Chain A
Amino acid sequence: MTLLYEFGKYLKLLGAMFRKPEKFSMYWKETLRQMNDIGVGSLSIIGLIALFIGAVTSVQFAYQLQGSFIPAYYIGYIVRDSTIIELAPTISCLVLAGKVGSNIAAEIGGMRQKEQIDALEIMGVNTAGFLVLPKVLAAIVVVPMLVIISAGISMIGGYLAGVLSGLVKPTDFLTGLTYFYEPYYVFMMLVKAVVFGFILTSVSCYKGFYVTGGSIELGRASTQAVVYSNILIVFADYVIALILT
């Protein structure tokens, strides 16, 4: 029952978000600010994590394939596909849910507690639209870009780890990277990035928007934003995999 109530409230917030903006230029300015916060602000952590994900994938598969008859260029092939299909969008967005999601929930929750949201409402501002829509739009645009960068860095990480440790020759890895390339997988990756971006921002905004009480409740809302976003991201990952494969 509570779950249904929460879901209804979440849908209501999303509905209110799409009302006509008071002034497009103000919403656009806010969207650009959010793009910078979510995109540029997350670039280093996403890059670092992607580098190691690629490296670990490469080393693990090289170890698995040792002594088998499977050609070494398969390491590059596996790193590429696992990165594009699963690791880059999912791991990146789980990390973003932790970094961006908790930040959004704390920011909006803090505004609620300091009566800043009430102040906006009294001015006549559609608070759901002004506070939530720019964040969701920014994420939908920026998260796919981050995921593309993450996939690229992962492959570089895989190459460096495989080659520097001597587990695979550079030519074999590069052959694998171009072997049986399927552009549809990139489409899948982008679909996941858009959906995950929407989930992590909208859920975090929702948790922050309806926060009540004091600092303990704000901390709890921030944690819940991350937990719920993560659960919904992996669930959506499964649904997208079922639909698109």
Chain B
Amino acid sequence: MIRVEEIKKSFGEQEVLKGISVTFEQGKTNLIIGRSGAGKTVMLKILVGLLNPTAGAVYYDDLNFSTLSVKEKKKIRMQVGMLFQGSALFDSMTVEENIRFPLDMFTNDTKLEKENRVNHCLERVELEGSNKKYPGEISGGMQKRVGIARSIVMNPKYLFCDEPNSGLDPKTSILIDELIRKITIDNNITTVINTHDMNSVMEIGDNIALLYHGELAWVGNKDEVLDSPSETLQDFIFASPFLQRLRKAYNQ
């Protein structure tokens, strides 16, 4: 579980996050949604420790991350996996080397153990046999799956995904969403996904936090979205004229 308490973040005069408190539950896919510029990426960067909040605290299972020592922070980070928007795979390494990198860096496993672990992760993301390919030789969707495989190779307790569906076609997006959800449930981990993909919201939104101009505008789950009276949420969900027509039809 990850708990965020009164998080504030400013860049100079500009206040990007204005005191956000929210809890991300274990074994569930927790979504942070909002329009571009709402503060989602800043929020995610604070959650993973890439940015320090101006005020407030992030708790990893009751441990206040900002008060931990460098060694303790490192220990937490070993339990964190992250899928980046652009996958962030190392171009000079093969798929296998990319996934194996955390194992090479932090474990004393034998070559065979690492190989088995890499193959297991590739199996989980349905990319068996792609070991020797380079990131430049595979599609965007496959790169995302390799990114997921790398993020779960150390058996993380916390998984963060930044816009996992960006740049993907709807079918591949669904596959990626299903994969993340399956990993979350199977491994009983805390997953936080930063997205503005409506399909993800409606399909895998166990917990949803809507950010609007740096404030928490709405909290709920996928079953509560359509019936929510929140104007901000409805404006966000039904942003396009097509979806507005669909909503009208749904209401009728």
Interfacial residues, chain A to chain B (CB-CB below 8 A)? 22-23, 26, 114-116, 118-119, 121-125
- The verdict on A124 contacting B84 (CB below 8 Å), with A22-B106, A23-B106, A26-B105 known, is no
B52 within 8 A of A: no
Cβ-defined contact, A124 with B78, below 8 A:
yes
* Interchain residue pairs A-B with the least CB separation, the first 3: A124-B77, A119-B88, A115-B88
Cβ-defined contact, A125 with B88, below 8 A:
no
Q: How far is the CB of A127 from chain B (nearest CB, A)?
A: 11
* Chain B residues with CB under 8 A of A123: 77, 101-102, 105-106, 154
A interface footprint on B39-77 (CB within 8 Å = 1, 0 otherwise) = 000000000111000000000000000000000001001
B21 within 8 A of A: no
Cβ-defined contact, A114 with B106, below 8 A:
no
* Chain A residues with CB under 8 A of B80: 122
Q: Which of chain A's residues has its CB closest to B160's CB? A: A122
Complex Cα gap A23–B102 (Å) = 11
Cβ-defined contact, A124 with B74, below 8 A:
yes
* Chain A residues with CB under 8 A of B49: 122
* A–B complex contacts, Cβ < 8 Å, 13 sampled: A22-B105, A26-B104, A114-B86, A114-B91, A116-B90, A118-B50, A118-B84, A122-B50, A122-B82, A122-B160, A123-B101, A123-B106, A124-B106
Complex Cα gap A138–B2 (Å) = 42
B131 within 8 A of A: no
B85 within 8 A of A: yes
Complex Cα gap A116–B102 (Å) = 13
Complex Cα gap A116–B135 (Å) = 13
Complex Cα gap A115–B85 (Å) = 9
Cβ-defined contact, B86 with A115, below 8 A:
yes
A interface footprint on B202-222 (CB within 8 Å = 1, 0 otherwise) = 000000000000000000000
Complex Cα gap A114–B160 (Å) = 17
Complex Cα gap A115–B162 (Å) = 11
* Chain B residues with CB under 8 A of A125: 105
Complex Cα gap A116–B147 (Å) = 11
Q: Which of chain B's residues has its CB closest to A111's CB? A: B90
Q: How far is the CB of B105 from chain A (nearest CB, A)?
A: 5
Q: Which of chain A's residues has its CB closest to B153's CB? A: A123
Complex Cα gap A93–B74 (Å) = 38
Cβ-defined contact, A118 with B88, below 8 A:
yes
Known: A23-B104, A119-B88, A123-B102. 12 other contacts (CB 8 A): A22-B106, A23-B105, A23-B106, A26-B105, A114-B88, A115-B86, A116-B88, A118-B50, A118-B88, A122-B50, A122-B80, A124-B77
